[in-house]
Structure 1
Amino acid sequence: MKKHRHFIIHKPWGMISQFVNPAKRKKKLLGDLYDFPEGTMAIGRLDVPSEGLLLLTTDGKVSAEIRSQKYEKEYYVQVDGLITQKEVEQLKTGVEIGFNGKKYTTKPGKSFLIDDPKFPLRSQKIRDERHGPTSWISIIIREGKFRQVRKMTAAVGFPTLRLVRVRIGEINLGDLENSGVKEVTTLM
């Protein structure tokens, strides 16, 4: 029986969440972070301007299980402007976004205002206080439509400036310490 391998990584801003670059863009790939074994796959993805927790495995069954709606995915989101409790409540109950050319209402989730998490600065600056205030929220969902969190914040009038996935199920970004890549015996 083949022994599968599992990894927890911190995907940095500007990296493609894949091992192959289909568009031949001049971006870094996951394989640039670490020498992963052949057959390793990302469980879900984070788009190029997103960062944070990404799980990798050589086991397709584990990948399908974690991508299901069984596990919560938590994101810390910096938005343009001072979001209010009214918009946070809208995010909790579900908002209408576009998906696959159709209107889609997101499933209810959790959302709340948070203090600035003081993440390290990105390699590309977002903006500064001269451009107006920003605020941070946590959004917790069980689904994962294409750029869903970004579309959700835009739907309530607060475009996303920075998006960091901090948790999938019980696995937290903080579990990584400073290395950015950690091999684990099991994911869930």
Structure 2
Amino acid sequence: MTSSSHQHFKLYKPYGFLSQFVQEPRKNKKRLGELFDFPAGIMTIGRLDHDSEGLLLLTTHGMTSHHVRSQHYEKEYYVQLDGDIDDGAINALMAGVSITVKGETYLTQGCQARKLTQVPLLPPRGHKIRDERHGPTSWLSITLTEGKNRQVRKMTAAVGYPTLRLVRVRIGAIKIDDLSVGEVRPIRL
């Protein structure tokens, strides 16, 4: 897909980091450049918001970025929810729900969603979410082919289960595998 002169990486983006390379530092914001000495011209392929974590791909090739962000690639997330999600809410997510994007109502495309029967094996977040005494939580796997701003969070809130933790675990065939938080590995795309 790309010439050998381009470089590609996968990273476990930690909670609290911006997933972009900004010219001017933002006050109290951690940036990806603090994690690794990336080559010039590096860009993220898609984004994860400040409060999200998990798999992030980076490349020096703009067309690769454009292709991976397209609807040809599935993006899978593990989502910890406030409350014990029921089948009705899962079915609503799979059918598509109304969210707000840039001030406009948007109907999400259908997606794959399933309740996880066990808590996924993920590194500790590093920032406590809340105590279990405040009620039950549940975990969901949700797989999308689109990527609107804060889409997964908006979708789960729309069905009555706000997101407490969001971790992207897969983009296409590329998985987070055994990456530790903040770890960067070169990959082939």
Q: How far is the alpha carbon of 1:25 from its aligned partner?
A: 2.7
Separation in 2, partners of 1:64, 1:85: 35
Number of the residue aligned with 1:125: 128
Unaligned runs of 5+ in 2: none
CA distance in structure 1 between the partners assigned to 2:159 and 2:114 by the alignment: 14
SS of alignment partner, residue 152 of structure 1: helix
Rounded Cα–Cα distance in structure 2 between residues aligned with 1:111 and 1:129 = 24
Opposite residue 151 of structure 2, the aligned amino acid is Q
Distance 2:131 2:181 in 1: 26
Structure 1 vs Structure 2 CA RMSD: 1.6
Alignment of 1:157-176 (within 5 A): 157-174=160-177, 176=179
Residue 105 of structure 2: aligned partner:
103
Structure 1 equivalent of residue 96 of structure 2: 94
User: In structure 2, how many angstroms separate the alpha carbons of the residues matched to 1:14 and 1:179?
Assistant: 11
- Deviation track 1:88-117 (CA, whole Å, cap 9, x = no partner) reads 111111000001111000000100000210
User: Any idea what SS the aligned residue of 2:124 has?
Assistant: coil
TM-score normalized by the length of structure 1: 0.94
| 1:153 equivalenced with 2:156 (yes/no) | yes
Q: Please, what TM-score do these two structures have when normalized by structure 2? A: 0.94
- Helix, strand or coil for the counterpart of 2:120? coil
| Runs of at least 4 residues off by over 4 Å | none
The yes-or-no answer on 1:46 pairing with 2:57 is no
